[in-house]
Chain A
Amino acid sequence: MDYKKIALEIMEKVCETDEVREDLDMDLFEAGLIDSLSSINILLEIEKKLGIKLQVTDLDKSDIATVNNFEAFLRKRSADN
């Protein structure tokens, strides 16, 4: 499965901008593109795309701070399931 593609699609949708594609190590919190409430949207998107039901506490702030971190997180969670 192409986790990079999924990670980018989810972040693009949640951040409502394709800016996320420019730098995969950009800190999305610092860039003001996501806040603590974005995690709910991210979890709903993960469920839609991968069918994994998670809670907010499954997600560390660092897991969604950059697209690359997020890709690693998705890869790990899919392996766990």
Chain B
Amino acid sequence: MIISSYANFFSLLIFSLFLIPAIVLGILGKKIKWYGIIISIPILCLLFGLTSKQMIQFAVFIVCETILIFSYYFFKKRATSEFVYYLTFALSMLPIFLLKMCVHVERFSFLGFLGVSYISFRIWQLIIEIHDEHIKTLSLPEMLYFITFFPTISCGPIDRFQRFKDDLEASIKPEEYLNDYLIFGIKKIFIGILYKFALAMLINTFVIEKLPAHAESFLGTLVYMYAYTFYLFFDFAGYSNLAIGTSYILGIKTPENFNKPFLARNMKEFWDRWHISLSKWFGDYLFSRFVLNTLRNGTFKSKKVASRCGYMLTMIVMGLWHGTYLFYVVYGIYQGLMLVITDVYLKSKVYRRFKKSKYYNVISRVICFQFIAIGMLLFSGYLFNF
């Protein structure tokens, strides 16, 4: 997986030019909301290409999903029906399902567009939150700005609507904007550039590209595994920092995506530190709902069994969301099993007895890193030649 937004200095330059008026507004203590909404249009056109196939698909997709969301929103104001809820949800999933299957059919392989996976997360969240009655008022410009928020459109981080909306309405004092938004944002952007254009690029050029394209020898695969693990971190965390930095300059405190993931002592902790906005999304909208609902309706009697099945289900779905390839399923099963094993491990006497010891924590980190790296190797598809 190579991340393509913020792909070169040219796109960064264009982005920065659009940001200058936002900075002026921020420093003057004015709201940036409407400026951000308006510049979305030219920026999205630049990202997709005005007359490209991508643009047409993107436009059709957004129009259909918007109609769907608002139909459900107005329906929900008048009535409650679980059937309509599930139907809405299924319909909203249809495009991404079809697009993910299209990669296997040569005739349709041109289909697909930037960010469809991440936009879908925001759409599903809206539908669920409308159902749960957390969203009581929904305005069209705000909703569109949220689902197509350009700094995070291609690969997240995945924000939450209520949080995003609060940021849009917040009045920020000039001094606060300068320190907590602008300077912080610029810092983030510099870290992002360092990670993505220096570190990730170096690892890619000098290690990954020197290796054969698919696994041949054990040693080569081992080197690839560690190199890819660091590459993916610096590339993705670098991208995330660029996205977060840009968002802050626009007055939106997009949530963090990484928190020193390789310092995790077990795989549960790893998922609290790696691609945080995605794992939190799955935690809130799939895992915990699955566990709660199955316990409530009596499918499972034991919390332990329910949560372990929940781990497997969540991780396999997460794997498939990356793409409908066998290695993503294998990756999902691997991560699911890791969480189940971690769950058993965290309840064990050994863990409870030694968890406070310094050396035990160091050893835990080293061992956990190996499991993380194996996961990354599966995720890379390097082992699967097709």
Contact = CB atoms under 8 A, between A and B. Distances in A.
A34 interface: no
Contact of A40 (B129, B134, B288): B288
Interface residues of B, number: 16
A69 to B, nearest CB: 19
Nearest to B289: A55
A47 B129 CA distance: 20
Contacts of A47: 296
A17 interface: no
Given A36-B272, A37-B307, A57 B296 contact: no
Interface residues of A, number: 13
Contacts, number: 34
Contacts of B129: 57
Interface in A30-61: 36-37, 39-41, 43-44, 47, 53, 55-58
A53 B296 contact: yes
B29 interface: no
Nearest to B132: A55
Contacts of A58: 132, 134
Contacts of B284: 56-57
B318 to A, nearest CB: 17
Contacts of A56: 283-284, 288-289, 292
Interface in B261-313: 272, 283-285, 288-289, 291-292, 295-296, 303, 307
B312 to A, nearest CB: 16
B132 A36 contact: no
Nearest to A57: B284
A44 B303 CA distance: 10
Contacts of B289: 55-56
B166 to A, nearest CB: 13
Nearest to B131: A55
Nearest to A58: B132
Given A39-B288, A40-B307, A55-B292, 18 more contacts: A40-B288, A40-B291, A41-B303, A43-B292, A44-B292, A44-B296, A47-B296, A53-B296, A55-B132, A55-B288, A55-B289, A56-B283, A56-B288, A56-B292, A57-B128, A57-B284, A57-B285, A58-B134
22 contacts: A36-B272, A36-B283, A37-B307, A39-B288, A40-B288, A40-B291, A40-B307, A41-B303, A44-B292, A44-B296, A44-B303, A47-B296, A53-B296, A55-B132, A55-B288, A55-B289, A55-B292, A56-B284, A56-B292, A57-B128, A57-B132, A57-B284
Interface of A: 36-37, 39-41, 43-44, 47, 53, 55-58
